[in-house]
Amino acid sequence: MAFFFFVPLLLTGCSGNEKTIEVYDVLDDAQKRVEVREVLDSNEDVYSGTAIFVDQQLLVAVQAKPWLDYKKEKIEKELTKQFEERFTEFDVLVSADYKLFWEANKLMEEKDQQKVNDKVKKLKELEKEET
């Protein structure tokens, strides 16, 4: 009897293979969004990502799969290289830090571009302090 209760739970728990990728772009450039999605989709170690384009800056906050915490720095370096190659005109920051990811997700709801720009600058400073 317990078999009938646990099997559906296991099946639904294992089916979550979709990546969540959100892009905030003031200029609403569809090509940029596609390129960000391509880079993040191509990386098997990332299951969620948020990218923010604002004022010649690109902030990419990603979440690595839970059992890959030891590879976060390597993932950040690989993604930074890929984003810098594709977006040469932007100052790129890629982070796998959960707090930065959480803050970036909160910014997705913000409508005021200046507030987003200020917050991105603060997040970049915070990330530099942590390293």
Task: Say if residue 6's pLDDT is above 60.
Answer: no
> What local confidence, expressed as pLDDT, does residue 21 receive?
86
Question: Is residue 59 situated within a structural domain?
Answer: yes
Contacts 24+ apart (CB under 8 A), 118-124: 120/52, 120/54, 120/55, 120/57, 120/59, 121/57, 123/59, 123/93, 124/57, 124/59, 124/93
CATH code for the domain of 101: 3.30.300
Question: Is residue 113 situated within a structural domain?
Answer: yes
Whether the Cβ atoms of residue 91 and residue 58 lie closer than 8 Å to each other: yes
Report the number of distinct structural domains present in the chain. Answer: 1
Banded model confidence at residue 131, pLDDT cuts 50, 70, 90: low
Residue 116, Cα to own-chain centre: how many angstroms? 16
Question: Is residue 5 situated within a structural domain?
Answer: no
Question: Is residue 125 situated within a structural domain?
Answer: yes
> What local confidence, expressed as pLDDT, does residue 3 receive?
42
Q: Cβ contacts of residue 13 below 8 Å, gap of 6+?
A: none
The parent domain of residue 91 ranges over 18-130
Q: What is the pLDDT of residues 46-80, one digit of tens each?
A: 999 999 998 899 999 999 887 777 888 999 999 99
Question: Is residue 9 situated within a structural domain?
Answer: no
Question: Is residue 8 situated within a structural domain?
Answer: no
> What local confidence, expressed as pLDDT, does residue 17 receive?
59
Q: What is the pLDDT of residues 20-55, one digit of tens each?
A: 888 887 677 889 999 999 999 999 999 999 999 988
Across the chain, what does the average pLDDT equal? 83
Question: Is residue 11 situated within a structural domain?
Answer: no
Question: Is residue 88 situated within a structural domain?
Answer: yes
